Amino acid sequence: MDPLVQALSLYRRRRYDKCVEVCGAILEKQPLDQAVWYLKMRAMTQRVYVDDLDSEEIPETDFLEDNAVATAPRPGTSMKTAVQPPTTALASRPRTATGRPVSGVARPGTQTRPGSALDRLKTARPITGQSARVIRLGTAAMLSQKEGPFIQVSRLNLSKYAKDPNLSKALFEYLFYHEGDIRNALELAVHATQSCEFKDWWWKVALSQCYVGLNMVRDAEQQLRSALKQHQHVEIFIRLSRIYQRLDQPLSAVDICKSGLEAFPKDVSIMTELARLHEAVHDTAPSIRFYRSIVIEDAMNTEAIASIGMYHFYNNQPELALRYYRRVLAMGAHSPELYNNLGLCCLYAQQLDLIYPCFQRALELAIDPLVKAEIWYNLSYVALTAGDVQLAVQCLNLCLSADASHAPALNNLAVLYHKTGKTNVAKAYLTSASTVDPNLPEPQINLEILLKD
Amino acid sequence: MDRLEKIIRPVFNFELDYKILPGLVTIGKYDGTHPCLTAGTATDKVLIHSPHKRNPSTAGRILSLESNKEISLLNINQKVGCITVGTIVPDDEKDILIVGTSSHILAYHVHDNKDVFYRECPDGVQSIAVGNFKDSKSPVVMVGGNSTIHGFDHLGNEIFWTPVGDIVTSVLFMDYDKDGTNELVVSSGNFNITVFKGDQRIAEHVETEVVTHLIALPENRFAYSVMNGTVGVYEQESRLWRVKSKHVATSVHYYDLLGQLNPQLITGWSNGKIDCRSVKTGEVLFKDHMGAGIAGIVEGDYRSVGKNDLICVSTSGEVRGFTTTKTLIGEENRCENDIVMELLNQKQVLLMELKQYEYNMRYNENAVNETETYENSGVIPANTRLQIAITTNSDTRNPHVEVFVATNNSTKIRAVTIFAEGIFKSESHVVHPSLSELSSEILVPLFLPKDNPVDIHVKAMVGYPKSIQYHVFEITRQLPRFSMYALKTNKGISKPESFVQFKINERLQRICMWINQNFLLPDDVEFNSGPNLIVNLLCLRDGTDLVMQFEISGKVTFYTTNIVLGSDLVQSLCSYLNIDHLESQANFPLQESKLKALLERLSSIQEARSKLTTDVADRLSQIKFLVIKAEDSRILDELKSMAENYTELHALNQELINGHNVRLQNYNEGVETMKEINAIIQHGSRLRVGPNSANAITQCRSCIKNNNVEGLMKIMRTGVL
């Protein structure tokens, strides 16, 4: 078989590693074969391609960064200052340690560590959304550098390639996703958009991706707006909405998504974006409305089903929540969080026989210590409802062994010790709880009461 | 004055605890009802003071300030150039905050925390006004840049564009000509106040310095303030009054402070003085003083009493509110007193004058008999007259306009003072020869920098060398617009290649009248016969030639290398002959090649700029990374790597500073280039008159947007694309 045909076939079958190998072999013989060069570039890009729309983490409060215009926006107009839910039933809905509502599914941005912005940065986690991707892609680039890099980016005549409409886009994606070299990708995009006389919306989106990477959010906004004038595409709407989320203007993002829905009625991606946005500003009713519309369009959408389930759970309808979670389970999802939720639903729906099996499954599946801690914390609650204080204490201790900085667990332990008469131990636990999370009100209040006595 | 100060006391007084930049103060009803004081701070932020905010919620993590819950800050991240508010979104009563920086304009919905629009203004934003203009139904955001004015609608689309010669310091919407629709009044860095009606400029006033503020007053008047400390009021073409101070007015507003039904003009000065003047006369009616320079004066219902208060903000953040005084205590008494005082003063002056005349008369009677000359007694003959002649002098090395002042007898001129606007560095020029060189005639050379008609007020002190008192003679003359052009003798006549040519239907006799009125020629030009009338002139500024050729068929050609002169001539001739439509052919090869070069330079500058910006953004992310790493090392007690990180950070910082300087250079170059381009376009459009001129501008704009250099050249030549 002709090696090029073989390589193409491999590429189509997504066997990118093999395809790269074959292409490399051809290129050794014919170093100037553009078709093979192109194919190898595509294959290498595809191998490491990440959907940067869904994996992008919007830094909630990024330090050294003040893209957001308002520092103290009116409640309800910002992700930082969400309104309190109106009904008391929903007020009990827990929040993450950073004050954001717990969402139905875990996705980037919904789980943040407690503490201030700078505290969070002191951990080994990536600093910004940008550097996260750069690090990830940087390692990917190293993998392929067995015999030196495939393309010497610094030697590339970018303005020459930018004029070639067939090569330029592939080269851009290679630079952006594979090399993680945003600056050169940007330069290529600038040349390319000039050479096509600013008529290709694709390049504008590409430019906006680069600008977002370099944290030049306003420039990205401009490019996307101009792209939107030329061509309406779901991706552009969502990217633009993300820009406004970065600028902490959720209402602008909602406006963009709504205009997107006018162009693409009932589009699931846009509706998901809208539902998440409303959830982020604690506007539960419209959020659930959008999740329900999503389910009508796409009955297999896990995120929507789980979110509706959670809504019912915190709305004192555990039976309904159970139905939704079982639906997720029936679709093949198999995660400790799901079993944990199922267990809790069973507890509240009085299906007592299923509580322990669910939690057992959850514990079996849990690998992440943080998740494990949460499950033990929930189990302690089950024990309390059964009236078994000893078991509850044990569960909480196990929770703390998995995650030593679990402030609610510390607080609850303190309360339990206080009940059993060990006031001094309780005080110690409360003090450590309030040092671990100074923003949690319960330990503070409890401590005050204890000190009063 | 003491008496006045006691009458009006501030109704409220508080501190913002922020340094406020002068001029960056406005007030807006962001929720549609409650006014919020808004000001630009020295740290690139915009401060919003909202005392009416209902108990600020403590939910979430509001970053409102610990010290003052009423103040919230907006990050702008660029130097704030100007701020204003206006309701620009249709069907929304809430005010939109509009912030201009050196390169962008942001229209921001404060209440909903969202952008209305955000767009690049490569020409910078120096001033903003919101109002209805032309035939647009919704308000227009008019943005004055470094050399142009842009108009945007509420979506950020450009709907108006026109070049202005220099930095636009202030933009104002007002009904200038009492026709019920708004005109655009613009003040620019070349000392002009220009009035636009639609795309056409309908009036122009020239001031002595850069006009910094404009404000509309009731009854179609507007007030202005000038960099050199002048404040004045215009009613259409005529200036009602003006006053000058050694401080600079930083804010002008009008408000009925004294309860006189007609609002007064309130001026805030850079030294912290606030004064309240009568709109009609400029008389000071009230004065107050704040601790620091005034940053801005606005009005709004800040106490929720249903009536607007006058709010003065100082640069140190002090806020003082005043309200209309209900009744002025003892006003009637005061009026009487004032009138008596005034009359007494007048009487005093008249008595003095009378005494002087009596003395003179007595002396003149005696003079015939006495042997003493006039000289010894310091009195001049009664028949002394002062003569003045204004000519051009092209023979010396520095050609100029000469003012020749002489007396008709042996009296000497001790000194001559000339008052005129815009000729001298300040407003006046004094010539006082040394005692030994006194004579009865004096030559004053004048160098006129611009082709504008100028009124010169000459005051000559006439007497004798030993006189203690001098007689002052006052003469006022108007210099014609094109004074700096001298008639050329026949030798060495050459025609410049560049020209502007057009056709008018007018008798040559009337054109002769125009020439005689607008040029300073030794003899009046007359047209007797022949196919055409040719006037050869020499520009006294740069020695270039100007040839005006009027053919009997109506064809007019001005040959000059100076496009500014060409356009000035066209405008002057057309306004004299009341022509409101004129199309012309022009050929200015020098300007064209310059324009080409400038456009090329501009595109290369812009390219470099985008690259520099990405450089900075890239470095910033590296800095973030290093700060965190250094902080981590500090916590881990790894002092060595911490020091390494900080050294690296320092180097990066230096690089950033260097990069910033390069960017600044690039920015300034860009601004200069843009300014020159716009100036050429402006002059090109001024070679045409009326709708043709406006049309040329619109087409130039579209050519620049599409980078159509050839089209631009064609518009310059023919006026149409």
Interface mutation vs chain B, best among A78, A81, A98, A228, most B CBs within 10 Å? A81
**CA–CA dist A31, A40 (Å, integer):** 12
The verdict on a CB contact (< 8 Å) between B114 and A78 is no
List C-alpha distances in Å: B261 to B166, B257, B284, B464, B533.
38, 9, 17, 55, 59
The string of DSSP codes covering B453-486 is: -EEEEEEEEEE-TT-SS-EEEEEEEEE-TBTTEE
Chain A residue numbers with beta carbons less than 8 Å from the beta carbon of B65 are 72
pLDDT of residue B368: 60
pLDDT of residue A400: 93
The verdict on a CB contact (< 8 Å) between A75 and B72 is no
pLDDT in tens, A300-352: 998 899 999 988 988 889 999 999 999 999 998 888 989 999 999 999 999 88
The mean pLDDT value for B540-564 works out to 86
Tell me which of A54-63, A173-182, B17-26, B704-713 is least confident.
A54-63
- Give the list of residues 6+ apart from residue B36 with CB closer than 8 angstroms, or none: B27, B28, B29, B30, B48, B49, B50, B52, B110
Q: How far apart are the first and last CA of chain B?
A: 63
The verdict on a CB contact (< 8 Å) between A183 and B618 is yes
The verdict on a CB contact (< 8 Å) between B119 and A252 is no
Q: Domain B2-329: which topology?
A: Methylamine Dehydrogenase; Chain H (2.130.10)
Q: Does A195 touch chain B (CB under 8 A)?
A: no
Q: Does A138 touch chain B (CB under 8 A)?
A: no
The mean pLDDT value for B300-324 works out to 88
pLDDT of residue A107: 67
User: Residue A340 belongs to a domain with what CATH number?
Assistant: 1.25.40
| Residue of B57, B73, B623 with shortest CB distance to A71 | B73
pLDDT of residue B689: 86
Chain B residue numbers with beta carbons less than 8 Å from the beta carbon of A255 are 114
Residue A150 pLDDT > 80: no
Architecture of domain B384-465: Sandwich (2.60)
Confidence of residue A57 (pLDDT cuts 50, 70, 90): low
Q: Does A215 touch chain B (CB under 8 A)?
A: yes
**CA–CA dist A365, B261 (Å, integer):** 81
pLDDT in tens, B4-48: 445 678 888 888 888 999 889 999 998 888 889 999 988 888 888
The residue segments making up the domain with residue A375 are 366-453
List C-alpha distances in Å: A422 to A377, A401, A419, A442, B645.
21, 21, 7, 19, 49
List C-alpha distances in Å: B34 to A240, B255, B301, B540.
32, 20, 8, 61
Residue B506 pLDDT > 50: yes
Residue A73 pLDDT > 80: no
pLDDT of residue A102: 62
| Residue of B110, B111, B118 with shortest CB distance to A218 | B118
From B156's Cα to the closest Cα of chain A, the distance in A is 11
Confidence of residue A115 (pLDDT cuts 50, 70, 90): very low
A window 46-85, beta carbon within 8 A of B: 63-75, 77-78, 80-84
Residue in chain A closest to B68 (alpha carbons) equals A72
pLDDT in tens, B415-454: 888 888 777 777 788 888 887 777 888 888 888 887 888 8
DSSP at A261: H
* ipTM confidence score: 0.77
User: Residue A422 belongs to a domain with what CATH number?
Assistant: 1.25.40.10
List C-alpha distances in Å: B629 to A385, B36, B670.
47, 42, 38
Q: Which of B127, B200, B217, B117 is nearest to B170 (CA)?
A: B127
From B577's Cα to the closest Cα of chain A, the distance in A is 47
pLDDT in tens, B36-89: 999 998 888 888 888 876 544 433 333 444 445 678 888 887 888 899 998 888
The verdict on a CB contact (< 8 Å) between A255 and B623 is no
pLDDT in tens, B267-295: 999 888 888 888 888 888 888 888 888 99
The mean pLDDT value for B136-156 works out to 87
Name which CATH class applies to B485-579.
Answer: alpha beta
Question: Does a structural domain hold residue A319?
Answer: yes
Q: Are residues A329 and A411 in the same domain?
A: no
Confidence of residue B254 (pLDDT cuts 50, 70, 90): confident
The verdict on a CB contact (< 8 Å) between A69 and B112 is no
Q: Are residues A342 and A373 in the same domain?
A: no
The verdict on a CB contact (< 8 Å) between B59 and A83 is yes
From A393's Cα to the closest Cα of chain B, the distance in A is 31
**C-alpha angle with apex A179: A176 to A184, nearest 5 degrees?**
60
From A273's Cα to the closest Cα of chain B, the distance in A is 18
pLDDT of residue A343: 93
Contacts of the segment A405-408: beta carbons below 8 A, 24+ positions apart: A405/A114, A405/A436, A405/A437, A406/A373, A406/A377, A406/A436, A407/A97, A407/A114, A407/A433, A407/A434, A407/A436, A407/A437, A407/A440, A407/A443, A408/A377, A408/A433, A408/A440, A408/A442
Residue A132 pLDDT > 80: no
Q: Are residues A370 and A425 in the same domain?
A: yes
Supply B268's token pair: 């805030």
Chain B residue numbers with beta carbons less than 8 Å from the beta carbon of A85 are none
Question: Does a structural domain hold residue A377?
Answer: yes
Tell me which of A60-69, A172-181, B625-634 is least confident.
A60-69
The verdict on a CB contact (< 8 Å) between A130 and B621 is yes
The verdict on a CB contact (< 8 Å) between B59 and A75 is yes
With an 8 Å Cβ cutoff, the interface of chain B facing chain A consists of: 56-57, 59-65, 72-77, 104, 106, 108, 110-115, 118-120, 610-611, 613-614, 617-618, 620-621, 623-625, 627-628, 631-632, 635
Percent of chain A with pLDDT over 70: 80
Q: Does A96 touch chain B (CB under 8 A)?
A: no
pLDDT of residue B526: 78
Residue A27 pLDDT > 80: yes
Radius of gyration of chain B from its Cα atoms, rounded to whole angstroms: 31
From A256's Cα to the closest Cα of chain B, the distance in A is 11
Instruction: Give the number of domains in chain A.
Output: 2
Q: Are residues A349 and A390 in the same domain?
A: no
**C-alpha angle with apex B602: B596 to B606, nearest 5 degrees?**
150
Question: Does a structural domain hold residue A57?
Answer: no
Chain B residue numbers with beta carbons less than 8 Å from the beta carbon of A71 are 63-64, 72-75
pLDDT in tens, A193-208: 988 888 899 999 999 9
Task: Work out the mean pLDDT of chain B and round it to a whole number.
Answer: 83
| Residue of A82, A219, A252 with shortest CB distance to B115 | A252
Chain A residue numbers with beta carbons less than 8 Å from the beta carbon of B152 are none
**C-alpha angle with apex B54: B49 to B57, nearest 5 degrees?**
95
Confidence of residue B367 (pLDDT cuts 50, 70, 90): low
The verdict on a CB contact (< 8 Å) between A72 and B617 is no
The mean pLDDT value for A114-123 works out to 46
Question: Does a structural domain hold residue A143?
Answer: no
Instruction: List chain B domain ranges.
Output: 2-329, 332-371, 384-465, 485-579, 589-718
Question: Does a structural domain hold residue A410?
Answer: yes
Residue B656 CA, distance from chain mean position: 36
pLDDT of residue B305: 85
Q: Which of B212, B216, B305 is nearest to B254 (CA)?
A: B216
Q: What is the dihedral of CA B591, B594, B599, B602, to 10 degrees?
A: -130
Q: Does A221 touch chain B (CB under 8 A)?
A: yes
Contacts across the A-B interface (CB distance below 8 Å): 122
The mean pLDDT value for A174-200 works out to 87
The verdict on a CB contact (< 8 Å) between A215 and B620 is yes
